[in-house]
Structure 1
């Protein structure tokens, strides 16, 4: 008798599970199919890799397999496609200026090289998307080829000298202006010029030299090897200059390009993994971002380093 009721109970549970499974298939968030406005033009071997491993989530040419369209997997796929195209869309490549295109490719390669992309969950069901060492080498060679050719450039030297003269004039004549502020409320911090260098980094795609400075809290954490996680109050300033070569072949910093800040406050910036981001461009210190959501771009770029408190570069020992 007990076995009979157990069978009935099991059957009822299976019926309920089946009914729920069928029911959820009717909730299907829309994947908007937009037109291709401007495709990326790269060598055929590079395009083949991008198309195989990236296009499903980063283009308007999504090719869903039958198992991608079964809920709840479909919900996850839809979310990945939405977020993927917001950060990088190879089908709307014409909407980016050439320097921005190179920067996007560099960031994409960085994610691939750090094994953060393609997503492991995607590779599991799409094994053809997994990149081989040869694939990665092809992408690296192409991205590296985009770097400006370094040679003596009197125009860059002249631009740097002109910028330096303008900055000196502003500092000696004009009153101190109000500090520019990013849309997320973070203001430019001029005191970074008095901080100590923490590390350096390079960008092969745009020919810039970059130094990362840290405030006193960052320096103290470095000395005490307490950098994972970094303590609240830590601030980094990553400063980028144009790289120039003078007539003697010396490589030096040229015109100021931008300064980026990472500010650690685990409560205030909880929605972006405890870090606040801001970027100020050119000597005019124009805040980056069209909306306050620009910080999502930053956290997406730093996500491969989640096990290192989202910080890419290792500090220099002090």
Structure 2
């Protein structure tokens, strides 16, 4: 009898707490739709079904989305989703960057990183099927603009190389991003651990890893990656000759990810940096640019925020 009374008391206490939580709900700002992506109906249907709840200002909350504490998680999804990509503010994305945003989105879907698994489990309609992916890929392929011909890219690469020979690209002081990360030229001596290409902007990329990263790959200890791991993702123009052979062209940019659980605790243990053009111009107008990086990598939080899958020998 005493045990039964204790059980009822616990249930009553939990019920009171649950009811009290319903009065503590996060605010989800209602923002205007300033513009929208222009796409074929079949593409828009997929985006609205699978993406718009978190990546637009047209969020549709179900009754179960508004029950605390689940509502706190939903609000966080929407806040971070809009920060990374908001289809309702498409006009705020520079025209040359729109294809890249779509490319990133589709590739995250292909990798299974989006929609987020805990969201998709409850919102089954958000699931992206193989048929959906084919539609999205075909749309991306159709929207990719022609890039400069091989001759123009080859000339750009030759001119860049000549500038390096002439010393015009040398700098007495290594550039530094606003969050304090200095350009590391030694990446050229690191081992390549993966590659990727970007058909949306005609570039190819090689991901290099320092000794700690390479050892982690060898030992199979990459989730989480050990402190001291550094990745350098280098992008070049992609050149293809008449025989179909692909080589690197002019340098475009380099991105770093540095693992230090304590130093970069606010960004999930990773320091982010990007240097653009041969002049190595640091990316970001303020030190908060790292929030953009974290937002992009958040879908792979279960892989220690790393998209790269090391190539196996």
TM-score range, shorter chain: 0.7 to 0.9
Q: CA deviation at 1:31?
A: 1.4
Find the aligned partners of 2:17 and 2:67 in 1 and give their Cα distance. Answer: 13
What TM-score, normalized by structure 1, do the two folds share? 0.85
Partner of 1:244: 239
Find the aligned partners of 2:212 and 2:23 in 1 and give their Cα distance. Answer: 53
Partner of 1:93: 90
Find the aligned partners of 2:217 and 2:69 in 1 and give their Cα distance. Answer: 44
Where structure 2 has 5 or more consecutive residues not aligned to the other structure, the ranges are none
Find the aligned partners of 1:122 and 1:271 in 2 and give their Cα distance. Answer: 24
Question: Structure 1, residues 135-156: CA drift from partner, whole Å, max 9, x if none?
Answer: 1221222234444446744333
Find the aligned partners of 1:249 and 1:186 in 2 and give their Cα distance. Answer: 38
Give 3-state SS (helix, strand or coil) of 2:88's partner.
coil
What TM-score, normalized by structure 2, do the two folds share? 0.86
1:36 and 1:92 in contact (8 A); partners too: yes
Give 3-state SS (helix, strand or coil) of 2:236's partner.
strand
Find the aligned partners of 2:132 and 2:308 in 1 and give their Cα distance. Answer: 25
Partner of 2:185: 190
Corresponding residue to 2:272 among 271, 277, 285: 277
Find the aligned partners of 1:265 and 1:75 in 2 and give their Cα distance. Answer: 29
2:80 and 2:295 in contact (8 A); partners too: no
Corresponding residue to 1:294 among 278, 289, 293: 289
Are 1:170 and 2:167 an aligned pair?
yes
Question: Structure 1, residues 66-104: CA drift from partner, whole Å, max 9, x if none?
Answer: 222222222222121111101110000111112321121
Report the number of matched residues.
313
Are 1:260 and 2:261 an aligned pair?
no
Partner of 1:202: 197
- Identify which range, 80-89 or 245-254, moves more after superposition: 245-254
Q: CA deviation at 1:214?
A: 2.4
CA, structure 1 residues 227+55, in 2 after alignment: closer, same or farther (shift >3 Å)? closer
Larger Rg: 1
1:154 and 1:246 in contact (8 A); partners too: no
1:152 and 1:246 in contact (8 A); partners too: no
Where structure 1 has 5 or more consecutive residues not aligned to the other structure, the ranges are none
